[in-house]
Structure 1
Amino acid sequence: MAKNLILLGLPGAGKGTQADFIVKDYPNVHISTGDIFRANLSNDTELGKKAREYMDAGNLVPDEITNAMVADRLSQADVEENGFMLDGYPRNEAQAEFLDNYLDKKSNSVSATLYFEVTDSLLRERLLGRGRADDTPEVIDNRLEVNKAANLPLVDYYKKAGVLHTIDGGRELAEVYRDVKGVLDNL
């Protein structure tokens, strides 16, 4: 059966970089919720139209719409054949429960959750180094706090589920990926 992965970590932890390495060595389909949203919005799907209403009003898109978009993407043949690697989803425990229930109905499950742990000081340094106009120290600190509030309950959730693998994301890319491969090769 195909392996299903979740990547967790705060902004700047290196999830996207490690995802790029993973897809070169493993068949998993990399699914970013940002990509799913953009596809639904640009294709003007029913879910995209619903999401746009919330986004245009400056509100968060409700879980039910996000969950439906993710379920639609997970039901596609490439994912069913090769497994998935989710980046940016789930964002909260309710979404994690939805995902578990969705997979359970398909006699499937999350194979591993990779949590890239990085110190706050290194995250700040990395995010400031990106050179984005909106990446001021104040904005970065707020972003980290908001993301901690969302991520840490998910870390506990997947630890209790027995699929959490914590990886020190503060090292050289090759060292981090060596640990990632170690987890994935033992699934």
Structure 2
Amino acid sequence: MSTKIKVIFHSLHGHVYKLAEAVAEGARSVPGTEVELLQVQETLSDEVLAKMGATETKKTFEHIPVAKPADLAEADGVLFGSGTRYGSASAQMQAFFDSTGGLWMKGALVGKAGGVFVSTGTQHGGQETTLVSMQTFLFHQGLVVVGVPYAAQELTNMDDITGGSPYGAGTIAGSKGERTPSPNELAIARYQGKHTAQIAAKLATK
């Protein structure tokens, strides 16, 4: 049987989407792993998205299906990515978390592997607080929380400004969204996807 991994994200300007693709790539590198990339439902109107300059970037991943709570139940491992909003996940991601109460009541996610990744506008824009705050959802659902160990050598890179921490992969978008995920950040994201898929496979066989 294949190990099923779901990578679920919310992105406005494409930074989290690019991280999600790298996470998915890393998970797919584990033999016998089936990966699906999903996005949460957008709650902002087209008018608001236009004012935020997100209309065109949203089109680049409009082909990605919208996640449903049932998608989590059929997975062996799940990873969630979001931009930060004052040190927490976006309202859209929080709304998705809030929609999974039925799974919580059934204990449907207990024992599965889970992880989180993030994008911030600045170097100290709340990456770690956002990652840790998102992890509380994983704990409440009974997921086995998987981070990024320092076996990922890219975490120790001091030559570049870089996102990512032991709590999860991350990218720094720039205050105007002008920066794209760096090779170092993408490498950390791929490591997280691979590591999570490996842990999920081990848990699924128990």
* TM tier, smaller: 0.3 to 0.5
Larger Rg: 1
- Structure with greater helix share of residues: 1
> Normalising to structure 1: TM-score of the pair?
0.43
- The structure showing larger relative contact order (alpha-carbon pairs under 8 Å, at least 6 residues apart) is 1
- Structure with greater strand share of residues: 2
